[in-house]
């Protein structure tokens, strides 16, 4: 498969593959995932549970644990290729080049260590030679940047609300001004008002450090408000990538169309439209296109031949046989 990148993207993911080896068989959780992001660009990653969104985030951080295994692909941040780094090199790259804001801040902070100590530990593990006062100033500045009072530095996690804990996780993520930030469902378990505050915080700190952001989640409404482009995953593959406007006004892949149509709207109040069937088990994927048993546009070829990625316009791709004739040739970089 050939592909191209926008001019000087800060993040390039090429052919990333992850497999889980279980007693029941081999499950491919990521299958040839390829995309790029520019500095300051925000991409929303959506799809049903089990589609591979969080696996993608953990693979990029090289945090896949057995029985999972990263079996192929590259992740470039600037001139650094993460998959080729030593374990120590990758440890240094985390926070400094790529940061991960985990799902569920409630379980991500050490309950018996003050917030300030956790921030200081993060800095000291990556930066040498700074004085204690300089490190504390850096940590206090990170807390202020996410709208937290400096007194939080001396508090424990249980003394904070859910939204405050989530902002602490964001503060830790931006301590070393990484080029890429991955936020894995950062607003889950938060009320609507706090969700917006957290998203506005991510948006603001993204602008301050000019980082590329990947936002993983299920809330399409949140995506519509905060991201520049949307990537839709299904059964471990990217099935469509488009600008947020194109995705919501003219989705092309049948699965993306079904996701958009399942959103409630004012024209059909009280009418809810779901996607028929269930997402397939990664241990027993259907032949051909994994979505064809649920697809209203399925053809014979869909049941037999796995679709390749079709670049149908600049920056837009669709993994579907319906668009084979629309595919444009894209020169490899």
DSSP class per residue in 123-161: HHTT--S--HHHHHHHHHHHHHHTT--GGGGG--GGGS-
Chain segment 40-95, per-residue pLDDT in tens: 999 999 999 889 999 999 999 999 999 999 999 999 999 999 999 999 999 999 99
Mean pLDDT of the chain: 89
Distance CA 215, CA 227 (A): 8
Chain segment 191-250, per-residue pLDDT in tens: 888 888 888 889 998 999 999 999 998 888 888 889 999 999 999 999 999 999 999 999
Distance CA 65, CA 70 (A): 9
Name the nearest CA neighbour of 144 among 168, 179, 109, 162.
168
Question: In this predicted structure, what is the pLDDT of residue 315?
Answer: 77
Chain segment 175-192, per-residue pLDDT in tens: 999 999 999 988 877 788
**For 306-327, what is the mean pLDDT?**
87
Distance CA 218, CA 49 (A): 8
62: which DSSP letter? T
Pairing of strands 80-81, 98-101: unpaired
Chain segment 125-176, per-residue pLDDT in tens: 998 888 999 999 999 999 999 999 999 999 999 999 988 999 999 999 999 9
Task: State the pLDDT confidence band at 327, using cuts at 50, 70 and 90.
Answer: low
Domains and CATH numbers, the chain: 11-227 (3.40.50.300), 251-265+272-333 (no CATH)
Distance CA 152, CA 156 (A): 8
Look at phi and psi of residue 40 and say left if phi exceeds 0, alpha if psi is from -120 to 50, else beta. left
């Amino acid at each position: 498969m050939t592909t191209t990148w926008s001019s000087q993207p800060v993040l390039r993911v090429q052919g990333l593959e992850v497999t889980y080896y279980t007693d029941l068989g081999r499950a491919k959780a990521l299958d040839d995932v390829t995309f790029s992001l520019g500095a300051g660009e925000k991409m929303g990653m959506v799809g049903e549970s089990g589609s591979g969104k969080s696996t993608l985030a953990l693979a990029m951080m090289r945090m896949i644990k057995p029985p999972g295994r990263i079996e192929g692909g590259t992740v470039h941040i600037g001139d650094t290729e993460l998959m080729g780094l030593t374990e120590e090199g990758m440890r240094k790259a985390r926070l400094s080049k790529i940061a991960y804001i985990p799902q569920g801040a409630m379980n991500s902070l050490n309950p018996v260590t003050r917030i300030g100590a956790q921030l200081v530990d993060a800095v000291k593990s990556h930066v040498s030679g700074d004085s204690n006062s300089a490190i504390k100033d850096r940590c206090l500045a990170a807390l202020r940047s996410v709208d937290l009072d400096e007194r939080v530095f001396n508090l424990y996690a249980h003394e904070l609300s859910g939204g405050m804990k989530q902002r602490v996780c964001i503060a830790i993520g931006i301590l070393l001004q990484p080029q890429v930030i991955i936020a894995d469902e950062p607003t889950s378990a938060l009320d609507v008002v706090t969700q917006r505050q957290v998203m506005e915080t991510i948006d603001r700190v993204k602008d301050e450090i000019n980082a590329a952001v990947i936002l993983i989640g299920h809330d399409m409404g949140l995506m519509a408000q905060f991201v520049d482009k949307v990537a839709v995953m299904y059964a471990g593959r990217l099935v469509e990538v488009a600008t947020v406007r194109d995705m919501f006004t003219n989705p092309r892949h049948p699965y993306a169309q079904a996701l958009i149509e399942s959103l409630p709207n004012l024209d059909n109040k009280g009418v809810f439209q779901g996607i028929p069937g269930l997402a397939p088990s990664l241990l027993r994927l259907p032949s051909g296109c994994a979505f064809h048993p649920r697809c209203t546009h399925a053809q014979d070829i869909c049941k037999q031949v796995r679709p390749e990625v079709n670049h149908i316009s600049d920056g837009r791709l669709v993994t579907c046989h319906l668009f084979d004739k629309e595919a444009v040739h894209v020169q490899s970089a």
